[in-house]
Structure formats: structure tokens, C-alpha cells
Amino acid sequence: MKECSYTALEAEPKSTQRKRPEGLERILVAAESLFAKQGYEAVTIKAIAKNSGQSQANVIYHFKSKKELYINVLRQARERLVSNATPPDIDSKEFSLGEYISAFAKDHLDMLTKDEKAVRLLYREILGYGIIEGKELAAKVLGHDLGCFVQAMEGSRGSMRKGVSPAAAAFLILGINAMFVHAGNVVRHMPGGQFASGHDKFQKEVINILLNGMLETIDD
């Protein structure tokens, strides 16, 4: 199976490939903080320059537009999230497909809970409240992560029920994790919401339903 890692993405702009100059790092840090708090539309290049201690000319030197800077901020947020991830090896013989799905889903949920600012930025775009079109967001920021999960599931397709789409299954699992991060603290207080009282309990309950279904098997 070909190499598939969280960190693989299409080539980044030259300004982010080499070791970042201090001024560039300050620009990215200031921009992320402002975008996370205020949203894309409310933030100006002037404000980013002021908060980073750099000139507007230096900001524009590194990024030709506010949108280009914003995309790089999103990529930085995503990279910071996955830097703490330890996904299971997709080529490992130690995992059955069910065990791999459980391990990947748990790792993904743990990753999402470690950096609230990064998650807020990324999911604002995913939920359609930002300015990046879906195709561009997938190509430049997020698409590879879902692709890795799908690739692993397709590689073990013999273990999946006929007619199940690996991509749909992967999307369902990652989407449920995102929902837990954003609404788990509310759901756990609702009637029957004990399943969301903690990460491990939530994962156990949800993965059991996804892998085993929720309807009794009726023998002929």
C-alpha cells in the first residue's frame, strides 16, 4: 500500500517550506489569533501587521493577499493538530479492520480535543461559515486526512459488508467525532446522554453501533 500519513499535502508555498523567518512566524501567529477571534471578514492586513509587530509591506511580501495568508493559517492549524496524532499504521498486520477503525477514530477524537483554537478555525470553514470554497479547502488543507482513512478501509475491503462505501463510513466516523467536540458538553446532560460523558465511553458506544449495527439480527 502506498505511503499515507497525516502530514502529506500538496506542495506548500515557498514562504512556508523553508525554516520560517521570525517576522513570518509572528505574522502567522498574530493572524491565527485574530482570525480565530474575529473571523475572516473582520480582520485586516493592517491589524495583522500591528499585532505581529511587522509592517504591512512585510505582510504583503510574504502573502500576496489576505486569502493566501488565511489559507496558510488554516494549514498551520491543521498541522499543529496532527503533530500530536499517532494514527495506527495502515499496513500493520496487528489490526483487523474493526480494530483499525476503532484506533483511528479514537486518535482522531483525541487530536481534536487538544487545540480548541485550531479546531474553531478549521470547522468554521467546514461548516460553511468561512470564505474558502469546499474544493479549495479539501485540496489545500483537509482532503488528505479523509483520504488516508478511506485508503486503509479500502485496503481491507474484504472485511466490509458488500455495498458499504468506505468514504461514507470514514466521513461518518470523523463527523461524529467533530460533533462530540462541539456538542458533547451539552449532550451529556440531556436525557440518555450518559454515552457522551467521556471520550472513551463515547468512542466505545459509537464504534459499537457503527461496526455492529443497531438492529437485532433476525434468523430465518
CATH number at residue 42: 1.10.10.60
**Residue labelled with grid coordinates 485586516:** 44
CATH number at residue 175: 1.10.357
Helices (H) and strands (E) in the chain, counts: 11, 0
- 16-25 residue pLDDT tens: 445 678 899 9
Indicate the average pLDDT of the chain: 79
The boundaries of the domain holding residue 57 are: 16-64
- 76-106 residue pLDDT tens: 888 887 776 676 665 666 677 788 888 888 8
Q: How many structural domains compose the chain?
A: 2
- 17-71 residue pLDDT tens: 456 788 999 999 999 999 988 888 999 999 999 999 999 999 999 999 999 999 9
What grid cell was written down for 14? Answer: 515557498
Separation of alpha carbons 80 and 103, rounded Å: 20
Residue 109 resides in a domain: yes
Domain identity same for 124 and 198: yes
Separation of alpha carbons 213 and 13, rounded Å: 44
Q: What does each C-alpha distance from 124 to 41, 88, 129 come to in angstroms?
A: 13, 28, 5
**Residue labelled with grid coordinates 460553511:** 128
Which pTM does this prediction carry?
0.70
Residue 11 clears pLDDT 60, i.e. is over it: no
Give the CA dihedral 165, 167, 169, 174, nearest 10 degrees: -170
- 186-218 residue pLDDT tens: 999 999 999 999 888 998 898 899 888 888 766
Domain identity same for 190 and 110: yes
